[in-house]
Structure formats: C-alpha cells, structure tokens
Structure 1
Amino acid sequence: MSEKRSTHPTAVLLVLALSTFAIVVMQSLVLPILPGLATSLHVSMADVSWVVTVNLLSAAVFTPILGSLGDALGRKRVLMITLVLVTAGSVLAALSHTMWVVLIGRALQGMGFAAMPLAIGIVRSIFPAHRVPASLALLSALTGIGAGAGLLFSGLLTKADVTAQGMFWISAAATAIGLLGVAVLVRLTETTSKFTADVWGALTLAGGLVCIVLGINRGTAWGWGSGIILGLFAGGAALLALWGFVETRVRQPLVDMRMMRNPVVLGTNLTAFLAGAGMFGAFVLVLQFVQTPSQAGYGFGSDVLGAGLTLLPLTAGTLAAAALVATLIRRVGPRWPLAIGMFTAAGTFAYLAGFHAEHWEFYVASGLLGLGLGLAMGAMPALLNTSVAPEKTSVANSVNSTLRSVGGSIGTAIATAILASRTLPGVPLPTVDGYVIAFLVAGGICVLAVVAALLVPYRHGTTGTAGARGVEDIIQGAPRPAPAVS
C-alpha cells in the first residue's frame, strides 16, 4: 500500500493519458495529409498508402507481444521502451524524405498501440481503489477521442501551413513529454519474473496477423478475389491456427490460451471485435459524406477542418460516458454499460440512415456515437479484468485491443466496399443509398455486439462467481488468483 500512497494518481493519469492520446492521434493525423506526403516523398498515392498499412501491421503484431513483455518484465519498463521507439519513429519520419525510412518510422509508431494496455496494467497495479474504474474508463475512451481529434488537429495544422514532417515533429514532442512523465511520476517497483521467449508463438501470431490485416487493407487495391488476397487470408488463418496449437504446448506461452478460453474473456473479446467492425467504420462514412460536394445531391462540401469539426461532439460524448461508466460499473457491473454503449451506437446508425439531409444531424450523431463509444470502451477493461489475474492484465487487454483494431479494419473495408458498389452515373462518388445501406450494415453489426455483450456470463454481486469476485477486486484493488476455466 505504500507504493500506492507514494504515487500521485492525478499526475500519473494525466501523463498516461497524454502518452496514449498522442499515440492514437498520430495514427489518424496522417490520413488527410497523404497527398502532401506523397508529393514530398516523390511517390504515387498508391505507394504512400503504405504509410497507413505499415502502421496498422506493426500495431497488430506488437500490441500483444509488448503487452506480454510488460506483464513479465515490468509494465513501466516496457511502456518507457515503447515510448522511446514511438518517439524515434516520429523523428525518423520527420527527418527523412525517403519512402523506406518513413515506413520504418511509421512501423515504430505502430508499436505505440501497446501503450494503452500497458497503461491499463499500471493503473490497476498502483492506483487507489476508488480511482481505478474511472481511470480505466478514461484511458479506454481516449481510443475513440483520439481518432476524431487526429483528423481535427490535421485540419487545423494544415490551415496553419504545417507540413507533414512538421506534424511528425509535434508527435515526437508529445510522446517525448509522455516518456519523461512516465519516468518521473510513475513510481512502480517492478520485479522481473522468470521469462522464456516464446519465439514460435511470436512468429506464428505475427505472421497470421500480418496476413489477415494486410489482406483486409489491400483488398480493394489488389482485388478481393485475387489469388494474393485469398492466399493471404488462407495463410493467415493457417498461421493463427498453428499459433493456437503452439501456445498450448510451450511452457511459458506468449498468450495463455486457458485465459483466452475463459467465457468472460472470450465473450468480451468477441464483443470488442464486433464493436470495432461496427463503430470504427463510422469515421470513414461520416467523413466522406460531409466532404461530398452538395452538387452530388447530398453532402455539404466540407474541407478537412470542417470534417474534423463534425466529429468534435464525439469527444464531448465520450468524455461524458467516461465520467458515467465508473458509477454504472459499481452499481450494475461492467456488462450493462458495454451493452448499452453498443445499443446506443446501433441506434445512432439507424438515426443516420433516416436523417442525413442537414449537417447538424451529423453533429448530433457524432455526439451519440461518442456516448456509445465511451460506454463500451470504458466498460471493456473492467469486464475483461474480472476474469484475469493482475499479472495478466496487460496481455489480456492487448489481445482485446488487437481484436478491436482488426475488427475496425474489417468494418472499414466493408463500408468502403458498399460505397464502391453504388456510385453515381459518370461520377466516382457513392450514391446516397450506398451510405444508407452502409449505415444500416454498421448498425446491424453493433446489434450483434449488443447480443454478444449480453451473453457474457457475468453476474454482478453474486457471491462465488468469477465475475463478482473480479469486479470487487478492481474496485478494491485486491490481487486475486486467476479463476478456473470451465
């Protein structure tokens, strides 16, 4: 308990929030500046799109690996290493005018996605009991806030004539400040447990995720029915199956498969995957709709800054949800906020399918989507942590985060494919009906996420269940053994 008293929770939370927020922001910050980046690097738009793809591949591979290392070697140590790598990646991207060096920098930046589950583990380890639920909710909510904020910041900086390389310098400064704050303020005595590198587990997991994410993100460009895309999906599925087999055979697996088979963990991860597929595709739909010239019969002709401002209410909604979710977790447990959040998202897409003629309707939808996103993302770590031991916190949340990201990639691909299948005659723009269908599909996926959340076998306040013991441990900050897997 002395360790908890020696920390300054507000200061620690602020520095963890800054670090994770800056990393999420830098992922979407580059999207509006890709044309300028292509010009400065002297490459085509097809080539510069690898700046996004490489970042996503790196995130998918390294998030679970770094989360596992954090649990074994110390979360503060691994978080600091992660922030060093992310900062170095931003500096590389800022200094270089060579494509391959920028890609290395973006790969290093992608490792930063591991910062969120590592920060969740730190909060669970050292924060006072009454601060844990709200702190976890805020950190998780930053995932949604950062995606919209990155687009807004990019628009503001573009208006101020800041170059792409200048934006990378700003990213480097933000994560460097976060690194300094973690080093000074996070007072966490960590012991390194006996650790044996699970090389085959890491290779098979990395290979499988690379194949799946690469296939999803390059499917439109290379053709969904092409041999290379089908081969990537088949190879990815085979490697992930092999990874599951390897993890049950090694003495110290990268990811404990018994933990992953726990019904609460399994249900939460399924909900995370569906939440990513349903909600994260919304950013693409909303941004493209509001930027469509009104001459197409819909849209508002917004520029990058205007599109970013459309997502500004999402931040307010997410922060409101983060403030509310901790109280809900205490009273009814984390499963209901998760289900309510996904139900709110489903209702938002139904609203957009029926009301999209005025720009203000998208501001309303953005705020509602932020409310749903904040409730769902804030409840997930609390629900997940009810069934994992404290020493497995980071890797469990890392896998959850990876599944959410993969789901988001799939959701974006689905939305893009729907819009591409319905275009105006002679104009490379989607029809308004294409958007309506995409909104309804996204809403349908969110409904599936509601069902998945309600099926999670968690019972709040029931003595003797893993879920009841787990949420009390989160609130009270008490360590506990991992529950048995049925």
Structure 2
Amino acid sequence: MPETDTSARARRSSTPPWAVLLVLALSTFTVVVMQTMVMPIMAGQAESLGVSMADVSWVVTVNLLSAAVFTPFLGSLGDSLGRKRVLMITLGFVTLGSVLVAVAPTFAWVLVGRVLQGTGFAAMPLAIGIVRSVFPPERVPSSLSLLSALTGIGAGAGLLIAGFLAKAGVTPQGMFWISAAATSLGLLGVAVLVRLPERATGFHIDLWGMVTLGGGLACLVLAINRGPRWGWGSMTVLGLFAGGLVLLVACCFVERRVRKPLLDMSMMRRPVVLGTNLTAFLVGAGMYGAFILVIQFVQTPSRFGYGFDADALGAGLTLLPLTSGTLIASTAVSLLVRRLGPKWPMCIGTVVAAATFAFLLLFHTEHWHFFVGTGLLGLGLGLSMGAMPILLNSGVEPGRTSVANSVNQTLRSVGGSIGTAVATAILAANTPPGAPLPTVDAFPISFAVSGAICLLAITAALAVPYRHRAPGPGPVLVEPAAAAHGGR
C-alpha cells in the first residue's frame, strides 16, 4: 500500500539513518563474506569430514543453486509482505545454516546448512528496498552505493578473514560459529533498529513462475559450476544447459499470463532495467573471474617459473587493496550521481575494470603488480555496482524495488559463475598432461578474455537510456518516468 508523505516523514524522523545503515551494512557484509570464506578452508573441511575435494566442492555449488532459486522469490516476497519481515526471516535462515555447518556430523548436514546460507543472497536487495523506504531522498544514493560496494569488499574480505583465522588456528567449524554470531547480531539489529511499519498486501504464490525461473537458473548454475568436472561436452552438462534455457523461455511466457507474476515482465523489459541487468551480468562475468586468477597466480610456488609462494593469508592480503578501491568508489559514486546521474559512474566502472585487465595483461611479473591490479578492480567494482541500484530504482516503482534488485543480484551472480568457469577452463586447457599447475601463458589469455567481456559491459552500460536532471535546491536525482520509458 502506498504511504503518505506525512507517514514517511514520521517514520524517517523516528529512525536514525546511521543506525539503520550500520545494521544493514553488517548484515549484508557478513552474508557476502560467508560465501567466499569457505574457499580457503575446503581442504580442511574435506579432511575433517572424510570426503574428497571433488565432493567438498559441492559446498560452493549448492550455495549458488540456493541463491539462484531463492533470491528472486524472497525479493518478491519482501515487496509483498514487508522487507523488514522477510530480511529477518532470511537472516534467521542464514544463522541456522551457519550453526548446522558448524555442528554438522556428516557432509549431508553441511550441504543443508549451505543451502540455508544461500538464501542470504536476498539480503542485499531487501536492504536496498529498506533504504529506499526509510531514508530521506538525499541520503539514498550514498547509502545504496555503500551497500552495493560491500559486495565487492566482502568477496575479497572473506578470503582474507579465512586466512587470518586459519593462521590463528581456528577450525573450519569454528569459523562458522563466528559467522553465525555475526548474522544473529545483524538479525537483532534489524529487529530493534529498523522501524519500518509494513502492511502486507497479500502474496500470491506464483508456483509456475517459481518452478520455471528457479529451475532454469538452477540448471544453468549447476551446468556452469560442474562443467569443468563433468566435462563441457558431457550429455549431463549439455542437458542442463538445454533444460535451463527451455525453462527460462517458458518463464517469460508464463509470467506474461498469470494474474500476479513473480516477475513483472513489462517492468523487466523497460530499457533502463533491461540495460542495467545486462550490464550486471557482463560485469559479473568479466570481473569475478579475477579472484581465482589472482589467488592461483600468487600462491603458485616460484619454482614453476612464476608465482610468489603466497599462502592463503598472503593471497588474501593481495586482495586487500580491493577493499580500499571499493571504499573510495562508494564515496565517489554519490558525488558523481548527483552531478552526472547513475549511468556514468556505472560506465566509468566498466572502463576501469577493462583497464585493470589491460594492466595485468602487460604487468604480472612482480607481486606489487597484483596489488595495483586488485586496487583498480575494487575501484571498478565499486563504481559499477554502487551505481546499479540507483539506476535500476529510477526505472521501477518503489513497491517493486526488492524484486527488481533481486533479479539484478541473481544475474550478477550467474555472470560471476560463468566468469569463474571460463577462467578455470582456460587454466585447465593450459595445464600440460601430468603437470600440477597451468603454464604462465594461461594467465595472459585469461586476463585478455576477462578484459574483452568488460569491453562488452562498457557497450551495454553506454546503451542504457537515461536522462539526468541536474539537482536544484531539492534532492531530485532521477526522472523515474523518463527513465522507465527509455528517455534520454
């Protein structure tokens, strides 16, 4: 139900914006950290649970599958039943999942816990919806850019935190007790500090939409994630790709015919929304592969002719400049949005990302080259991702904010899975038979491919139709009507 200006002002005056932003930042940051924290500790989990490395890799796969299925659904649920309520439920699932992983007696329980943790991907779009509902208009761009920047920061921070904790002797199970404590603290903060009176509008479960969208995304994510192990030409992987595409096409037809669709296809076809989502997909595909490339390169023993003998902590420290770059970008986004609108920070971010891979293509013989590269990558991630929610929100109604950002988040994750799979495939193709590691030639090829994807992201970002109106005395930053209809 739409709210009056009076009720909105009353709600904002009763809620300290900094407290709301702090608790939302803690919640979303912890969820993102949790997704990457498992990577350096997979070997330890495999040993403690008595399973192979091939089996333990499913802790990543099931987490991504869960995110693909539940993120759009929880975003839509938040728009209908209340974003605070659904965010609290989501954080409750994530906390329970962390506890299950921490106490799991068998590998099956670990997988169940990781499925519950995968629902946490919906925390970011729900938080974006809360910010749009609670904050004064002039505070929205800077707050959204900070929340979005946490995605990039958390991805690198998870690896660094896991390295520090492993160095300190914390077991994999102990790490998940820490993450459970952090998300439970976020849950308590949301319950106490986010004062958001919400009225449920009645949620109609679009069963066919859930089956076709969730099933299609799950098939694609599973095929991309398991392709390197099962073989890209295997009938299972090809069947998953085909099934995913068929289900997603069916979803487009189904959602145009149901009375209350999970996805409003007319909204998804709006030029601003479509262009921003395409850019998000390409940004994920181009940038996320850099994590696995940087980590593997710097951890390679120097006796192989390249690499810097870094351990897990050293690899995490190499990604530390990414955090600084992302924080700088989150500050710059709010200034650029006010002067230029959200389109141009997103475009600049994709340009910086392409320049990052050009730099690494030319310079990758010294360890400091990677410190520079990850700093530039953080700047590109922060600019592009920080601007996306602001640009996306200019093309959708306030009541559809969470589901629109959920789709954007999901496409970014699917793109990231593709980028990681492409990087992994290139490294595997350049590993001689019987050799434990790829040749050094694999990395320039990977940097070039990632850079080429970022060039496509630049093209997609430039093509997004958006007309910015310079702010006058008031805080108006965008023209939703013009943006929604593709005006320039």
Shorter-chain TM-score category?
A: over 0.9
Distance 1:85 1:427 in 2: 42
Aligned match of 1:227:
235
Matched to 1:460, the amino acid is: H
Shift of the alpha carbon at 1:329?
0.5
Shift of the alpha carbon at 1:428?
2.2
Mark the CA change 1:274 to 1:126 in structure 2 (over 3 Å): closer, same or farther: same
Aligned match of 1:355:
363
> For residues 207-239 of structure 1, what are the alpha-carbon distances to aligned partners after superposition, in whole Å with 9 as ceiling and x for unaligned?
111110000000011000000000000001011
Aligned match of 1:184:
192
How many pairs does the alignment contain?
478
Q: Is the Cα–Cα contact under 8 Å of residues 388 and 396 in structure 1 kept in the other structure?
A: yes
Matched to 1:34, the amino acid is: M
Question: Does residue 1:116 correspond to 2:124, yes or no?
Answer: yes
Shift of the alpha carbon at 1:450?
0.6
Mark the CA change 1:159 to 1:361 in structure 2 (over 3 Å): closer, same or farther: same
What are the within-5 Å matches in structure 2 for residues 82-161 of structure 1? 82-161=90-169
Aligned match of 2:3:
none
Aligned match of 2:373:
365
Mark the CA change 1:473 to 1:131 in structure 2 (over 3 Å): closer, same or farther: closer
> For residues 235-281 of structure 1, what are the alpha-carbon distances to aligned partners after superposition, in whole Å with 9 as ceiling and x for unaligned?
01011111111100100000100000001100000000000000000
Question: Does residue 1:442 correspond to 2:432, yes or no?
Answer: no
* Gap regions ≥5 residues in structure 2: 1-8
Distance 1:196 1:480 in 2: 27
What are the within-5 Å matches in structure 2 for residues 174-323 of structure 1? 174-323=182-331
Q: Secondary structure at the match of 2:306?
A: coil
Aligned match of 1:465:
none
Aligned match of 1:24:
32
Distance 1:422 1:41 in 2: 32
Question: Does residue 1:169 correspond to 2:177, yes or no?
Answer: yes
Aligned match of 1:59:
67
Distance 1:39 1:33 in 2: 10
Q: Is the Cα–Cα contact under 8 Å of residues 272 and 486 in structure 2 kept in the other structure?
A: no
Q: Is the Cα–Cα contact under 8 Å of residues 261 and 485 in structure 1 kept in the other structure?
A: no
Shift of the alpha carbon at 1:481?
11
Shift of the alpha carbon at 1:339?
0.7
Q: Is the Cα–Cα contact under 8 Å of residues 389 and 481 in structure 1 kept in the other structure?
A: no
Shift of the alpha carbon at 1:422?
1.0
Distance 1:62 1:123 in 2: 21
Q: Is the Cα–Cα contact under 8 Å of residues 20 and 142 in structure 1 kept in the other structure?
A: yes
Q: Is the Cα–Cα contact under 8 Å of residues 9 and 127 in structure 1 kept in the other structure?
A: yes
State the percentage of identical aligned residues.
69
Distance 1:259 1:97 in 2: 46
Matched to 1:387, the amino acid is: G
326, 331, 353: which one pairs with 1:345?
A: 353
> For residues 398-450 of structure 1, what are the alpha-carbon distances to aligned partners after superposition, in whole Å with 9 as ceiling and x for unaligned?
00000000000000011111111112575221111110010011011001101
| Aligned Cα root-mean-square deviation (Å) | 1.8
Distance 2:476 2:359 in 1: 36
What are the within-5 Å matches in structure 2 for residues 419-434 of structure 1? 419-424=427-432, 426-434=434-442
Q: Is the Cα–Cα contact under 8 Å of residues 36 and 164 in structure 1 kept in the other structure?
A: yes
Matched to 1:362, the amino acid is: F
Matched to 1:375, the amino acid is: L
Shift of the alpha carbon at 1:194?
2.6
Shift of the alpha carbon at 1:459?
1.8
Q: Is the Cα–Cα contact under 8 Å of residues 267 and 452 in structure 1 kept in the other structure?
A: yes
Aligned match of 2:425:
417
Mark the CA change 1:481 to 1:64 in structure 2 (over 3 Å): closer, same or farther: farther
Shift of the alpha carbon at 1:474?
6.8
Worse-superposed segment, 122-131 or 225-234: 122-131
> For residues 315-371 of structure 1, what are the alpha-carbon distances to aligned partners after superposition, in whole Å with 9 as ceiling and x for unaligned?
000000000100100101111100100100100100001101110111011111101
Matched to 1:48, the amino acid is: V
Q: Secondary structure at the match of 1:144?
A: helix
Distance 1:159 1:228 in 2: 40
Distance 2:249 2:392 in 1: 23
Distance 1:118 1:308 in 2: 29
Q: Is the Cα–Cα contact under 8 Å of residues 272 and 484 in structure 2 kept in the other structure?
A: no
Mark the CA change 1:482 to 1:364 in structure 2 (over 3 Å): closer, same or farther: closer
Aligned match of 1:325:
333
52, 55, 63: which one pairs with 1:47?
A: 55
Q: Secondary structure at the match of 2:216?
A: helix
Distance 2:227 2:276 in 1: 28
Shift of the alpha carbon at 1:41?
1.1
Distance 1:32 1:474 in 2: 45
Matched to 2:80, the amino acid is: A
Distance 2:80 2:482 in 1: 16
Q: Is the Cα–Cα contact under 8 Å of residues 259 and 485 in structure 1 kept in the other structure?
A: no
Q: Is the Cα–Cα contact under 8 Å of residues 94 and 118 in structure 2 kept in the other structure?
A: yes
* Gap regions ≥5 residues in structure 1: 463-467
Distance 2:198 2:384 in 1: 31
Distance 2:351 2:91 in 1: 35
Matched to 2:207, the amino acid is: V
Aligned match of 1:33:
41
Q: Is the Cα–Cα contact under 8 Å of residues 78 and 402 in structure 2 kept in the other structure?
A: yes
Q: Is the Cα–Cα contact under 8 Å of residues 385 and 474 in structure 1 kept in the other structure?
A: no
Mark the CA change 1:418 to 1:3 in structure 2 (over 3 Å): closer, same or farther: same
Distance 2:31 2:169 in 1: 22
Shift of the alpha carbon at 1:480?
7.9
Distance 1:344 1:376 in 2: 9
Shift of the alpha carbon at 1:302?
0.3
Mark the CA change 1:310 to 1:189 in structure 2 (over 3 Å): closer, same or farther: same
Matched to 1:379, the amino acid is: A
Q: Secondary structure at the match of 1:420?
A: helix
Q: Is the Cα–Cα contact under 8 Å of residues 473 and 479 in structure 1 kept in the other structure?
A: no
Distance 2:331 2:386 in 1: 9
